[in-house]
């Protein structure tokens, strides 16, 4: 089936027609193509998420590759990188290939497994990074996300080692000793609420160290979920020096602050924690000026009982795939900080580059793979947790009115979402 | 005492009908004090307990008169009945008023409860329950400034300043110098033949 | 008053004074032969204690029983790491039993808030201590004790000394004393004062000897020896030397100044035996006052019908 999208605005440009034929973007005669009215819609390149938790294998009570990729498609993603903190950990070729295969079989979006940096995420010795890179999954991004590679020597070795196959270490920056038992951002509110604080310096100190290490050994470094103004400054400084550092910000850090913890509702518990309004502002500015290269969701599904309890007992993490684009529109596009070209860069081209994913993050031009998202920026929706493709319900935006709606998602010309619904 | 809607306090006694003025009250209290002494055959073993708020100054005034007549200081105290009210659960929790028992206690004494208005009798029932948890008086008597009728329980006063037949829509208000502006007993609402 | 007592910060000055005057009346009950009032007859109060605390639990139990309520004690084993099933399922069970009030002590800050807002129970929730967050009835009985010795707390100088970072008693006291017009100074080593304390309505000081001669009341907080493991102070001895209240320091206090402690004490650590047993110490009286204050809280929450 081919698709002709009429009168659509590609990246915010003048409305035109867009033909998806035989899996690529085409031009010319559109015989037998199904027509889609693109009036009022924006066409974006299929989004690429560099940071998702699909939970399979091991935590299928929270999410599976099937349900997670469905949620991804609903959010406009055609590719996601699945983090390695599964059970068993994705630290061998065997596990990453399993995840990769599950993604192909589900067929809702492409899954690129992330390999663990250390065996079992224990932070003691390197996992077989080469084997994972050579596997069918062709892993290029390695991360112990959930935990920090805190040992400086181990981080150095990892940064050096992956150069052999153009890999990148994606660091979850969290100094473990400074954040023992931490529950929320350390600041005015944590003292009042009696919740152990997670100080900004625990993130910034690791980022600073890793930037220096990467520069020293001539490696590239990717920093996951940057959350503080100080971290943005450090990354900006590293880039100024010409160091090969990339960074991501999560949608929730662009819009939510630590004030929400005052409700003691663990729906707002996340790692790194929600920070202050000043941090949110710095992140938006950093995303606008390119200091922060990409938006990544850190989609972290959790079953109901892991959030329906007292704060200290609750799991860290929030859903993100289905609301990411709306959050970016609300915080960046509508206020004029980023245009649709910018969104394409931050949510498709750049993540694909960092992940070395060739078939995604391509411009919407004739000949390119037909990985396209049709988005309606004029729509408004109130977020309803029960109306989600994810298996879990832990979205912090329930009841919030957000702009925009994904109308259709095409994966190599095949629709995964049509008319706002899963195909 | 009365659950009917009433004119706002700020309207003052001018909107009602004064049935007892300061001198009437003085005479009534003097007479009550003599009656108490007569019935008790003196001031021995008497304890006066006023029910807050206005029962307390009334009890004090009675005690003064007894002291003037008998040369005898009758112990005076207050007995808050809030916790024993039978309508406790029907409204938000009320602030407690002071309960001060005289040093000699109430065991084996003749306790005279003193209140301003006797109406349904429920306050006095509550006071009897409160006394029961405090000790065992030899006898309990009741002195009120005004008895306005409409008893809902088998309770009667032993010493009454004035009997005041009223209708249920009327409201009786006792003001006492010290707490309020001046001594008066005022009726608000429709008038009935006295 | 509202339906729950979760934080001392929720009390207006009027609320707090109402509780204190009610407690003053109820304290006299201890002198009567029948130490009971019928106000909560037929009501069920559940003590839901996830942390061991015989002292506080008994205090609440006595308070409820003196108001003629039925008391159910529920000691649940729930570590802060265990799943919320403990709290939720326990709450649902209590609701099925028809609890009118739940007095909850839990190791996790915010657990009483969860109980009050989750919709699992319809009862009033009284926070008997949640993690390092608050312990409102402790602050109330502390304030009550202070007023009995010092009169009005307006302008009074109160020193609270010890592990403020981990102390729910410190937090509740800071809030309540401020509401009642007192000037609070928190004294601790820098490692035991939380980040952001400059936004609290208090003064802070690292120097115990400078603060206590001006204080009208000195409240010593318990300091756990285990805090040494976290590197908060080098040795217990150094802590005692710099922040412990001993006889020498006690001699620098004004004549009327009282010494308080929420208990349990670590004798020799934050307070020496001769101070704890001196005539200035009102520590035992705090316990007695605890029952009256908790009676006042239970009566004001449950005694009437909050139909507003």
Q: Which two tokens stand for residue C133?
A: 């967050």
- Unique residue bearing structure tokens 């010494």: C259
* Residue A305 counted as domain residue: yes
Instruction: Give every strand in the sheet of C217-220, ordered side by side.
Output: C203-205, C183-187, C157-161, C217-220, C258-260
How many Å apart are CA A69 and CA A409, to the nearest integer? 12
pLDDT of residue C119: 87
How many Å apart are CA A355 and CA C23, to the nearest integer? 67
Does the beta-carbon distance from B94 to C304 stay under 8 Å? yes
Q: Pick from A193, A305, A314: which is nearest to C109 by CB?
A: A193
Peptide linkage before B53 cis (omega within 30 of 0): yes
How many Å apart are CA A137 and CA B64, to the nearest integer? 101
* C237 part of the active site: no
- Let me know how many helices (H) and strands (E) chain A has, helices first: 12, 19
**C173 and C251: one domain?**
yes
Question: Domain range for residue A339?
Answer: 47-360
Q: What is the pTM of this model?
A: 0.89
Sign of CA dihedral C147, C150, C156, C157: negative
Nearest to A59 by CA among A50, A51, A70, A67: A67
**C128 and C266: one domain?**
no
Sign of CA dihedral B162, B167, B168, B171: negative
Domains annotated for chain B, with CATH where assigned, are 17-85+96-188 (3.40.50.2020)
Q: What rounded mean pLDDT belongs to chain C?
A: 91
How many Å apart are CA B156 and CA A271, to the nearest integer? 73
* Among B107-116, C4-13, C75-84, C292-301, the least confident range: C75-84
* C4 part of the active site: no
Are the C-beta atoms of residues A325 and A76 closer than 8 Å to each other? yes
pLDDT of residue C289: 96
3-state secondary structure of C75: strand
* Among A300-304, B58-62, B67-71, C109-113, the least confident range: B67-71
User: What stretches in chain A show pLDDT beneath 50?
Assistant: none
* Residue A388 counted as domain residue: no
Write out the DSSP string of C239-266. HHHHH-B-HHHHTTS-TT-EEE--S---
**C122 and C142: one domain?**
no
CB-CB neighbours of A53 under 10 Å:
27
B130: confidence class by pLDDT, cuts 50, 70, 90: very high
* Residue C192 counted as domain residue: yes
Residues 258-297 of A with CB under 8 A from C: 263-265
For residue C198, the 8-state DSSP code is G
C274's enclosing H/E stretch is helix C273-276
Which residues lie across from C104 on neighbouring strands? C48, C127
Nearest to A403 by CA among A346, A328, A338: A328
* Among A184-188, A238-242, C78-82, C83-87, the least confident range: C78-82
Helix axes B55-70, B22-40, angle to 10 degrees: 60
* Residue A142 counted as domain residue: yes
3-state secondary structure of B113: strand
Domain count along chain C: 2
Q: Is A62 on the interface with C (CB under 8 A)?
A: no
3-state secondary structure of A15: strand
* Residue A311 counted as domain residue: yes
The tens digit of pLDDT for each residue in C97-121 reads 889 999 999 999 999 999 999 888 8
Contacts of residue A43, Cβ cutoff 8 Å, sequence gap at least 6: A5, A8, A9, A10, A11, A18, A364, A372, A373, A374, A375
Nearest to C95 by CA among C67, C111, C118: C118
CATH of the domain at C35: 3.40.50.1370
Backbone angles phi, psi at C274, to 5 degrees: -65, -25
**C279 and C140: one domain?**
yes
Q: Is the pLDDT of residue C86 over 80?
A: no
Does the beta-carbon distance from C25 to B80 stay under 8 Å? yes
**C225 and C94: one domain?**
no
Q: What rounded mean pLDDT belongs to chain A?
A: 97
Contacts of residue B174, Cβ cutoff 8 Å, sequence gap at least 6: B54, B116, B117, B145, B146, B184, B185
How many Å apart are CA C241 and CA C220, to the nearest integer? 14
**C189 and C93: one domain?**
no
* Residue C64 counted as domain residue: yes
**C204 and C176: one domain?**
yes
How many Å apart are CA A171 and CA A63, to the nearest integer? 23
**C152 and C120: one domain?**
no
Percentage of chain B modeled with pLDDT above 90 = 75
How many Å apart are CA C214 and CA C211, to the nearest integer? 6
Question: How many CA atoms does the CB half-sphere of A202 hold within 13 Å?
Answer: 22
Q: Is the pLDDT of residue B13 over 70?
A: no
Contacts of residue C226, Cβ cutoff 8 Å, sequence gap at least 6: none
Are the C-beta atoms of residues C289 and C23 closer than 8 Å to each other? yes
Residues of A with catalytic function: 298
Are the C-beta atoms of residues A96 and A132 closer than 8 Å to each other? yes
pLDDT of residue B191: 53
Q: Is the pLDDT of residue B101 over 90?
A: yes
Mutation site, C4, C82, C84, interface A, largest A CB count within 10 A: C84
Does the beta-carbon distance from C85 to A309 stay under 8 Å? yes
* Residue A33 counted as domain residue: no
How many Å apart are CA C86 and CA C184, to the nearest integer? 37
CATH of the domain at A308: 3.20.20.140
* Among A387-396, B109-118, C58-67, C72-81, the least confident range: C72-81
- Unique residue bearing structure tokens 């009570």: A61
Q: Pick from B90, B95, B133: which is nearest to C36 by CB?
A: B133
**C160 and C174: one domain?**
yes
Q: Pick from B84, B93, B97: which is nearest to C38 by CB?
A: B84
C77: confidence class by pLDDT, cuts 50, 70, 90: low
Nearest CA in chain C to A262: C110
ipTM for the complex?
A: 0.87
Q: Is the pLDDT of residue C78 over 70?
A: no
Tell me the mean pLDDT in the region C219-244.
Answer: 86
Does the beta-carbon distance from C108 to A190 stay under 8 Å? no
Domain count along chain A: 1
Q: Is the pLDDT of residue B5 over 60?
A: no
- Is A62 buried (19+), middle (13-18) or exposed (0-12) by CB count in 10 A? buried
Helix axes C13-27, C283-302, angle to 10 degrees: 110
* Residue C1 counted as domain residue: no
* Residue A232 counted as domain residue: yes
Question: Domain range for residue C63?
Answer: 8-134+287-302
Are the C-beta atoms of residues C158 and C185 closer than 8 Å to each other? yes
Are the C-beta atoms of residues A409 and A46 closer than 8 Å to each other? yes
* Residue C2 counted as domain residue: no
B and A touch per CB criterion (3+ pairs under 8 A): no
C143: distance to nearest CA of chain A, Å?
A: 20
Q: Pick from A189, A194, A199: which is nearest to C131 by CB?
A: A194
How many Å apart are CA A89 and CA A117, to the nearest integer? 10
3-state secondary structure of A164: helix
Q: Which two tokens stand for residue C46?
A: 């559940």
β-bridge pairing C183-187 and C157-161:
parallel
Backbone angles phi, psi at C116, to 5 degrees: -70, -35
How many Å apart are CA C200 and CA C204, to the nearest integer? 10
The tens digit of pLDDT for each residue in C131-183 reads 999 999 999 999 999 999 999 999 999 999 999 999 999 999 999 999 999 99
Question: How many CA atoms does the CB half-sphere of B127 hold within 13 Å?
Answer: 26
**C106 and C142: one domain?**
no
* Residue A175 counted as domain residue: yes
- Unique residue bearing structure tokens 């069918």: A136
How many Å apart are CA C181 and CA C158, to the nearest integer? 11
* Residue A105 counted as domain residue: yes
What is the number of residues in chain B? Answer: 194
pLDDT of residue B194: 53
Q: Is the pLDDT of residue C306 over 80?
A: no
Does the beta-carbon distance from C305 to B129 stay under 8 Å? no
**C280 and C151: one domain?**
yes
* Residue C308 counted as domain residue: no
Where residue C273 falls (left for φ over 0; alpha for ψ -120 to 50; beta otherwise) is: alpha
**C99 and C33: one domain?**
yes
* Among A239-243, A261-265, C199-203, C236-240, the least confident range: C236-240
Are the C-beta atoms of residues C181 and C153 closer than 8 Å to each other? yes
Contacts of C80 in chain A (CB under 8 A): 310, 312-313
Nearest to A225 by CA among A187, A265, A274, A261: A274
Sign of CA dihedral A96, A63, C111, A173: positive
Q: Is the pLDDT of residue B192 over 70?
A: no
Peptide linkage before A82 cis (omega within 30 of 0): no
Contacts of residue B29, Cβ cutoff 8 Å, sequence gap at least 6: B58, B61, B62, B65, B145, B161
């Amino acid at each position: 089936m081919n698709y002709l999208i009429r009168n659509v605005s590609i990246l915010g440009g003048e409305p035109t027609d867009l033909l998806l034929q035989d899996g690529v973007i085409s031009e010319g005669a559109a015989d037998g193509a199904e027509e889609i009215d693109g009036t009022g819609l924006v066409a974006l390149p299929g989004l690429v998420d560099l940071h998702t938790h699909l939970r399979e294998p091991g935590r299928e009570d929270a999410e599976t590759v099937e349900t997670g990729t469905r949620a991804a498609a609903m959010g406009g993603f055609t590719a996601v990188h699945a983090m390695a903190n599964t059970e068993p950990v994705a630290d061998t070729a065997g596990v990453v290939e399993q995840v990769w295969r599950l993604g192909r079989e589900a067929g809702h979006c492409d899954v690129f497994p992330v390999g663990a940096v250390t065996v079992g995420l224990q932070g003691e010795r390197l996992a077989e990074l080469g084997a994972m890179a050579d596997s069918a999954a062709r892993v290029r991004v390695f991360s112990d996300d959930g935990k920090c590679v805190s040992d400086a020597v181990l981080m150095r070795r990892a940064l050096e080692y992956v150069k052999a196959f153009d890999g990148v270490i994606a660091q979850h920056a969290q100094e473990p000793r400074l954040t023992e038992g931490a529950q929320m951002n350390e600041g005015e509110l944590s003292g009042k609420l009696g919740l152990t604080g997670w100080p900004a310096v625990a993130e910034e100190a690791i980022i600073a160290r890793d930037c220096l290490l990467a520069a020293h050994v001539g490696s590239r470094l990717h920093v996951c979920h940057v959350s503080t103004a100080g971290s943005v400054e450090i990354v900006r400084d590293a880039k100024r020096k010409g160091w090969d550092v990339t960074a991501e910000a999560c949608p929730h850090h662009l819009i939510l602050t630590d004030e929400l913890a005052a409700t003691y509702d663990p729906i707002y518990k996340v790692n790194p924690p929600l920070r202050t309004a000043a941090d949110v502002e710095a992140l938006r500015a950093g995303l606008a000026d390119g200091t922060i290269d990409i938006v990544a969701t850190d989609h972290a599904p959790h079953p109901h009982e892991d959030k329906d309890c007292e704060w200290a007992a609750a799991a860290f993490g929030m859903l993100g795939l289905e609301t990411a684009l709306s959050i970016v529109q609300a915080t960046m596009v509508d206020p004029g900080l980023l245009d649709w070209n910018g969104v394409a860069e931050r949510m498709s081209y750049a993540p694909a580059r960092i992940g070395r994913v060739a078939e995604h993050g391509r411009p919407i031009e004739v000949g390119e793979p037909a990985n396209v998202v049709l988005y309606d920026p004029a729509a408004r929706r109130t977020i309803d947790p029960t109306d989600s493709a994810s298996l879990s319900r832990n979205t912090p935006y329930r009841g919030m009115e957000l702009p925009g709606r994904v109308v259709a998602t095409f994966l190599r010309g095949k629709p995964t979402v049509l008319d706002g619904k899963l195909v | 005492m009365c659950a009917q809607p009433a004119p706002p306090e700020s309207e003052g006694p001018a909107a009602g009908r004064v049935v007892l003025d300061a001198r009437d009250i003085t005479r009534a209290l003097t007479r009550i004090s003599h009656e108490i002494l007569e019935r008790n055959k003196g001031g021995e073993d008497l304890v006066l307990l006023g029910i807050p708020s206005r029962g307390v100054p009334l009890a004090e005034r009675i005690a003064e008169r007894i002291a003037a007549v008998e040369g005898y200081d009758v112990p005076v105290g207050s007995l808050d009945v809030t916790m024993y009210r039978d309508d406790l659960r029907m409204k938000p929790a009320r602030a407690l008023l002071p309960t001060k028992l005289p040093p000699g206690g109430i065991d084996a004494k003749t306790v005279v409860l003193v209140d301003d208005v006797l109406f349904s009798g429920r306050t006095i029932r509550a006071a009897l329950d409160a006394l029961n948890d405090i000790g065992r008086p030899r006898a309990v008597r009741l002195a009120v400034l005004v008895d306005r009728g409409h008893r809902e329980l088998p309770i009667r006063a032993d010493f009454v300043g004035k009997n005041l037949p009223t209708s249920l829509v009327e409201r009786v208000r006792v003001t006492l110098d010290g707490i309020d502006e001046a001594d008066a007993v005022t009726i608000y609402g429709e008038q009935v033949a006295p | 008053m509202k339906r729950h007592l979760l934080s001392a910060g929720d009390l207006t000055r009027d609320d707090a004074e109402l509780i204190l005057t009610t407690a003053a009346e109820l304290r006299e009950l201890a002198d009567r032969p029948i130490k009971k009032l019928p106000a909560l007859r037929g009501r069920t109060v559940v003590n839901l204690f996830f942390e061991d605390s015989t002292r506080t639990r008994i205090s609440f139990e006595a308070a409820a029983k003196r108001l003629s309520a039925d008391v159910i004690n529920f000691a649940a084993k729930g570590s802060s790491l265990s799943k919320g099933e403990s709290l939720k399922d326990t709450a649902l069970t209590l609701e099925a039993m028809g609890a009118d009030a739940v007095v909850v002590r839990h190791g996790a800050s915010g657990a009483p808030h969860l109980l009050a807002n989750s919709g699992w129970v319809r009862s009033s929730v009284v926070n008997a201590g949640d993690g390092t967050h608050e312990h409102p009835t402790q602050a109330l009985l502390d304030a009550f004790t202070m007023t009995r010795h010092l009169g009005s707390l307006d302008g009074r100088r109160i020193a609270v000394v010890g592990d403020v970072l981990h102390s729910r008693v410190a937090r509740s006291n800071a809030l309540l004393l401020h509401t009642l017009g007192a000037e609070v100074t928190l004294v601790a080593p820098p490692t035991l004062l939380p980040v952001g304390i400059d936004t609290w309505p208090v003064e802070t000081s690292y120097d115990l000897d400078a603060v206590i001669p001006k204080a009208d009341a000195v409240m010593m907080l318990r300091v756990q020896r285990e805090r040494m493991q976290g590197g908060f102070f080098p040795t217990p001895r150094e802590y005692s030397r710099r922040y412990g209240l001993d006889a020498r320091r006690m001699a620098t206090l004004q004549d009327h100044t009282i010494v308080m402690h929420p208990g349990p004490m670590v004798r020799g650590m934050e307070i020496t035996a001769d101070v704890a047993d001196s005539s200035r110490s009102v520590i035992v009286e705090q316990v007695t006052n605890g029952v009256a204050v908790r009676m006042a809280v239970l009566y004001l929450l449950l005694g009437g019908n909050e139909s507003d």
